[in-house]
Chains A and B, each alone.
Chain A
Amino acid sequence: MITGQIASDVTVATDLTVSASGLTKRFGTRAVVSDLSFGVAKGHAFGLLGPNGAGKTTTVRLLTGLLTPDAGAVTLFGEPLDASNADALRRRIGVQTDTNLYDTLSARENLRAWGALYGIDRNRLDERIGDVLGVLGLSDRADSLVGELSKGMRQKLAVGRAVMHEPELLFLDEPTAGLDPEASADLIGYLKEMIRSLSTTVIICTHQLHGLEALCDEIGMIKGGRLLTSGTVQDLLHARWPEHRFSLTVGGDVARAREVVSSLVGPGLEPGADGELAFVTTDAELVPAIVAALVRHDVPVKTVVPHRRTIEQFYFATLDEDGVA
């Protein structure tokens, strides 16, 4: 279960790995995070989306106890986060931010230091380092100094460092920045597998939206320190764009095909040419009926293509709307 906009007086569900309630942080008079409330349940991935300076990094620092909120509260693993338990709770957390690795240490030495900091057993450490480097495709660069690695390799190693101890809660800040599409897809695949096999809870802060649909159960949009909206990807997209858009490629009598489709979708039919018909409908279940009707009228249907809205479109639409407001 994932919840958005948790009121401060509502009892937080016990299956939430992390929850923020009315979180506010000011630097001087400037509110960097303002009345932020959301929660993420065990084994779920939450995408915290927002432009640069939106307050994403400050949110991560608040959720990990590096910063103390001016108002509101954070609950981690069912415990209210405060100075007395922050160090202990951080043992269960992994964080990858834009902070740098140690350039004069090798990839293996960087991971070894982190493994020791998180208390990985000495006998298991080498095996774990080998596993992480292998999964990230860095085995052949294990003994290269980090300063000699490409930006993409360093990025992958930074994620590797954060997952060394198989954390229950993982914060990732722009994890795919600097990665080529293949490496990006591999990393998202690895994260999905980790979530599946270890029930890891993941919070991804990013404005790089490609591939997020495959990973995130829920997203929240933050701007100016305020959470503009949050919810499951499907619900948010459906709420903003209740209609579905499809295009059909047909053979034979196109005019007849337009009549048939128009009779079923009404004004949802868009002008088209060259045997292609595009239409919008709020009822996706209507598509099989349209295809069947076309076939009954001797109109061969070559392709049916659903045009799904993406998180990226939602992101820009929400930002535009907020800018107008």
Chain B
Amino acid sequence: MISWRRVQAVIRKDWLEVARNKQVLSSLVVVPLVFAVLLPAGVILLGDSGVLTSTIGGMQGFLDNLPAGVVPADFTAGQTMIYTLIVYFFAPFFLVIPVMVASITASSSFVGEKERRTIEGLLYTPLSNRELVLAKVLGSVVPSVVLTWVSFLAYTIIVNALGYRVMGGIFFPTWTWAVLVVALVPLVGFLATSLIVAVSGRSTTMQGAQGTAMFVVFPILAIVISQATGLMLFDVTVALVAAVVLAAVDVAAFVLVVARFERERIVTRL
């Protein structure tokens, strides 16, 4: 049986450590700032000036391959550009935020404990393998989700505030984004964290563990490329299917991580 008090104790300790690590904190802010503030603001302010399509790779291809009926028929070229980029093109990028945040916090809290030689102390406590893995996963997933939700809020405010005049009213968020933010963000963060915890027993450096999170980024890049080539649009159906698949993968990943968690391997490779 899981002792939530022990799980909370580890999470609280990890969060205190992250909160006092300026290097980690600054890394956590960069990606959300780019995706939630700089890119949407740039899209709306630059509009259809051509600067965006020439500077952001894949964007022109995405616009050229846009399926019919995705954008309201009465939209101007400028409105179409803003709408499609804000609503569709940037959606998968938002999944990168929880992956990046979780990879930084998870590697810091698990492999970082090995690097700082503090993990053995934890292994001598009554924490079960399941409690320790759960604490490390939740301790990384929760901040990654919260930070992504805050980013989403900022994104929503920025695109509506800056785009209100051009778009003729509030045009964001959509149902696809609701599924993305509520379901996909936590699921993707959970998977990235589980993978990092899984390799933490073998990895001796934080960088090595963070590299594992890239396995989660690849499918996200596949969505971006699929959109750019017109193969698939990241709409609400795709988001729902992805959520169901990810939920199953998450459960399997967690069970596997706990089953393969070996104290002996960790203490003998310090």
Chain A residues within 8 Å of B, Cβ to Cβ: 27, 61, 64, 66-68, 87-88, 90-91, 93, 95, 97, 99-105, 109, 113-114, 116-119, 161
Complex A-B: 26 CB contacts under 8 Å: A27-B268, A61-B267, A66-B267, A67-B267, A67-B268, A87-B126, A88-B126, A90-B126, A99-B118, A99-B119, A99-B120, A99-B121, A101-B118, A102-B118, A104-B20, A105-B16, A105-B20, A113-B12, A113-B13, A116-B5, A116-B9, A116-B12, A117-B9, A117-B10, A117-B122, A118-B126
A97 x B264 contact (CB < 8 A): no
Q: Is B202 an interface residue (CB 8 A)?
A: no
Q: Is B124 an interface residue (CB 8 A)?
A: yes
Q: How far is the CB of B38 from chain A (nearest CB, A)?
A: 31
Q: How far is the CB of A122 from chain B (nearest CB, A)?
A: 9
Q: Give chain A residues whose Cβ lies under 8 Å from the Cβ of B204.
A: none
Q: Give chain A residues whose Cβ lies under 8 Å from the Cβ of B229.
A: none
A116 x B8 contact (CB < 8 A): yes
> Which residue of chain A has its CB nearest to the CB of B120?
A99
B117 x A116 contact (CB < 8 A): no
Contact with A along B1-39 (1 / 0, CB 8 A): 001011011101100110011000000000000000000
B17 x A105 contact (CB < 8 A): yes
> Which residue of chain A has its CB nearest to the CB of B12?
A113
Majority SS at the chain B contact face:
helix
Taken together as a complex, chains A and B put the C-alpha atoms of A114 and B117 apart, in Å, by: 16
Q: Is B176 an interface residue (CB 8 A)?
A: no
Taken together as a complex, chains A and B put the C-alpha atoms of A166 and B234 apart, in Å, by: 57
With A87-B128, A99-B119 already in contact, 12 other A-B pairs whose C-beta atoms are closer than 8 Å: A27-B268, A67-B263, A93-B124, A95-B124, A99-B118, A99-B121, A100-B116, A101-B118, A105-B17, A109-B13, A116-B12, A117-B9
Q: Give chain A residues whose Cβ lies under 8 Å from the Cβ of B13.
A: 102, 105, 109, 113
Q: Is B157 an interface residue (CB 8 A)?
A: no
A100 x B121 contact (CB < 8 A): yes
The size of the chain B interface, using a CB distance under 8 A, is: 29
Chain B residues within 8 Å of A, Cβ to Cβ: 3, 5-6, 8-10, 12-13, 16-17, 20-21, 116-128, 263-264, 267-268
Other-chain contact of B118, A68, A91, A93, A100 (Cβ < 8 Å): A100
Q: How far is the CB of A201 from chain B (nearest CB, A)?
A: 16
Number of A-B pairs, beta carbon distance below 8 Å: 78
B116 x A118 contact (CB < 8 A): no
Other-chain contact of A87, B9, B16, B116, B127 (Cβ < 8 Å): B127
Those 10 A-B pairs whose CB atoms lie nearest each other, nearest first: A116-B9, A95-B124, A99-B120, A91-B126, A99-B121, A113-B13, A104-B20, A87-B128, A100-B117, A117-B125
Q: Give chain A residues whose Cβ lies under 8 Å from the Cβ of B123.
A: 66
Q: Give chain A residues whose Cβ lies under 8 Å from the Cβ of B268.
A: 27, 67
Taken together as a complex, chains A and B put the C-alpha atoms of A27 and B269 apart, in Å, by: 12
B267 x A116 contact (CB < 8 A): no
Q: Give chain B residues whose Cβ lies under 8 Å from the Cβ of A100.
A: 116-118, 121
Taken together as a complex, chains A and B put the C-alpha atoms of A324 and B9 apart, in Å, by: 51
Q: Give chain A residues whose Cβ lies under 8 Å from the Cβ of B125.
A: 90, 114, 117-118
Q: Give chain A residues whose Cβ lies under 8 Å from the Cβ of B128.
A: 87
Q: How far is the CB of A245 from chain B (nearest CB, A)?
A: 43
B264 x A68 contact (CB < 8 A): yes
B5 x A119 contact (CB < 8 A): yes
B6 x A116 contact (CB < 8 A): yes
Taken together as a complex, chains A and B put the C-alpha atoms of A157 and B19 apart, in Å, by: 23
Q: How far is the CB of B186 from chain A (nearest CB, A)?
A: 25
Q: How far is the CB of B222 from chain A (nearest CB, A)?
A: 38
B264 x A66 contact (CB < 8 A): yes
> Which residue of chain A has its CB nearest to the CB of B125?
A117
Q: How far is the CB of B53 from chain A (nearest CB, A)?
A: 46
Q: Give chain B residues whose Cβ lies under 8 Å from the Cβ of A119.
A: 3, 5-6, 126
